[in-house]
Amino acid sequence: MPRALIKGLTALLAAVAVPLAVCVLLLPARGALSETNVVLILMLVVAAVAALGNRGAAVLTALSAAAWFVFFFTTPFASFTYIDNTEEAITAGLLLVAGLVVSQLARRYSRERSIATTLQRSLLPRVLPDTNAVRAAYRYVPAEAEVGGDWFDLIPLPGFRTALVVGDVVGHGLNSAVTMGRLRTAVQNFSTLDLPPDELLARLDDVVHQMDAEAGGAGEYGTVAATCLYAIYDPVSCSCTMARAGHFPPALVYPDGRVEVVDLPECPPLGIGGLRFEAVERKLPQDTQLVFYTDGLIEDRHRDIGTGLTLLCKALSGAGSDPEETCETILETVLPDHPVDDAALLIARTRVFPRDRIAEWDIPASPAAVPALRAEVSAKLADWGLGEAAFATELMLSELVTNAIRYGAPPVHLRLLRETNLVMEISDGSSTTPHLRYAAAMDEGGRGIFLVAQFAERWGTRFTPTGKIVWAEQAAPSVPVVPVLASMA
């Protein structure tokens, strides 16, 4: 017999048997209980069955409760053929109507919760991407009552860097889940601009203001309230830049087991506006664990935030170095038994980029230095076993370095990073940004960046406190040069 049919028959049998069992239990106290008390007890039974979400079982429970009430507590046995009291008929009818209404409300609530839960889970990442910067693990625990707006993300960035994000939309229900999805999408889009954490949070704050305007929000704080923590870890420099908007600061677990809650500037939540977000940069040793979390993990109606943070730090001090094991330890020791708010946890263990896969050159501010630089880069690619990539690399190198010397400002620096891809980074002291142009047939210039875009899988610009970095990424160990040249002929 199919499992679904067995489950359905069991539910229907229980719908008939449960009200009967309650009536039998109440029968010895029939003289002490009024009909109103019995009706209220049976209505609670109907509501409990309706809360399970099975509409058919809920309706049958209401019918069964009405029938057993008439049979046992009005005119026994004769009630099925004759009712001689109008009040008895009205009471039984009210019990039936109340049960049907409760079952319909329970069905609607269950349906809305199912939609919100499905939407929220579809908006959260199912699998974290594997990056060269960190080894990550995550856990998400929904609230027992309603879904919330907690989210997390791990975003690969150019130069083998990784962005780590965790956020929380205030409130519960379908609207919070939708708002969470919009904010997560906005963070992913802004991350493609390679913005530092404080600037990204400022743009995310503008998005929240726009959402308030769309919703017609009025008042000092608007209708949308959210917090966010954004960090970028660079495995080459072993630095982590972090900024937060009303969110809890991250915790660091060092390789020796020492735990530290980072002292980040306490900036306002998203949507307040008018205030500046501040970023902090920290140097992290290899195998340091970055712990990001939301308030549902540490806060509970039975304990304050300080107690929750103390429990978290104690759990982290005794956890191992594996992010998966650390997640399990935290959930077992810190998460409330009956969470009233959803909780998100993201843990990343830092890695260090191998030094033998990094090559750097300081470039004199003279175009005459480019030929010698090309020869040195070709020799380095040969040492790495990337001789097939030499032609495309030299072409992009010539264009980008010449642009940095001609239009940028000293110092000019070149860095090559070899991993699954080959990344070229040219930095200078100017904020002038190169842009892609499509030169006409008779134009003498404007083809340099176009050639870079053709040979590179990706390219772009990111700004630094001292200038900018123009980067280009190509596949390793080989680059398909011939098809690109053929398309340009």
**For the residues 457-486, what does the mean pLDDT come to?**
74
Higher-confidence residue of 369 and 486: namely 369
200: left (phi over 0), alpha (psi -120 to 50) or beta: alpha
Residue 95 has a pLDDT of: 62
Residue located via tokens 């005794």 = 318
What confidence score (pLDDT) does residue 202 get? Answer: 92
**pLDDT tens digits for 305-336?**
888 899 999 999 888 889 999 999 999 889 88
DSSP for residue 446? -
Q: How many residues does the chain have?
A: 489
Sign of CA dihedral 139, 143, 144, 146: negative
Amino acid identity for residue 147 in this structure: V
CA 58 to chain centre: 37
What confidence score (pLDDT) does residue 227 get? 92
**Tokens 């856990």 map to which residue?**
139
Q: What is the per-residue pLDDT for 441?
A: 53
Instruction: Tell me the CA distances in angstroms from 75 to 17, 80, 162, 324, 485, one per residue in order.
Output: 21, 9, 75, 64, 96
The mean-pLDDT minimum among 267-276, 391-400, 414-423 falls in 267-276
* 75-108 CB burial, b ≥16 within 10 A, e <16: eeeebeeeeeeeebeebbeebbebbbebbeebbe
Region 378-400 average pLDDT: 90
Average pLDDT over residues 343-354: 93
Q: What percent of the chain has pLDDT over 90?
A: 36
More confident residue, 34 or 196: 196
| Per-residue tokens: 49 | 């069955």
Residue 172 sits at φ, ψ, to 5 deg, of -135, 165
- Only one residue has tokens 């003498």, namely 444
Q: Report the alpha-carbon distance of residue 291 to residue 343 in Å, rounded.
A: 13
pLDDT at 281 over 90: yes
Partners of 226 in the β-ladder: 169, 270
State the Cα–Cα distance between residues 117 and 112, nearest whole angstrom. Answer: 9
**Residues 128, 344: Cα–Cα separation, whole Å:** 14
Closest CA to 435 of 413, 450, 445: 450
Selected residue with higher pLDDT from 93 and 462 = 462
What is the reported pTM? 0.75
Which residue type sits at 354?
Answer: P
Instruction: Give the CA angle between residues 217, 186, 350 to the nearest 5°.
Output: 130
Residue 371 has pLDDT above 60, yes or no: yes
Asked whether the predicted pLDDT for residue 190 surpasses 90, the reply is yes
Q: Which DSSP symbol is given to 252?
A: E
DSSP state of 70: H
HSE of 14 in the Cβ direction (CA atoms, 13 Å)? 16
Concatenated DSSP letters for 71-96?
Answer: HHHTSTTGGGT----HHHHHHHHHHH
Does 180 or 119 have the greater pLDDT score? 180
pLDDT on residue 76: 52
- 300 pLDDT exceeds 90? no
Q: If DSSP codes are grouped into helix, strand and coil, which group holds residue 297? A: helix
The string of DSSP codes covering 258-295 is -EEE-----PPPBT--SS---EEEEE--TTPEEEEE-H
**pLDDT for residue 91:** 61
Structure tokens at 409: 């400002």
- Banded pLDDT at 74 (limits 50, 70, 90): low
**What is the structure's pLDDT at 451?**
83
* Alpha-helical regions (H) of 250-387: 295-298, 305-317, 323-333, 370-383
Average pLDDT over residues 410-423: 92
* Alpha-carbon separation of residue 372 from 367, 449, 456 (angstroms): 10, 22, 22
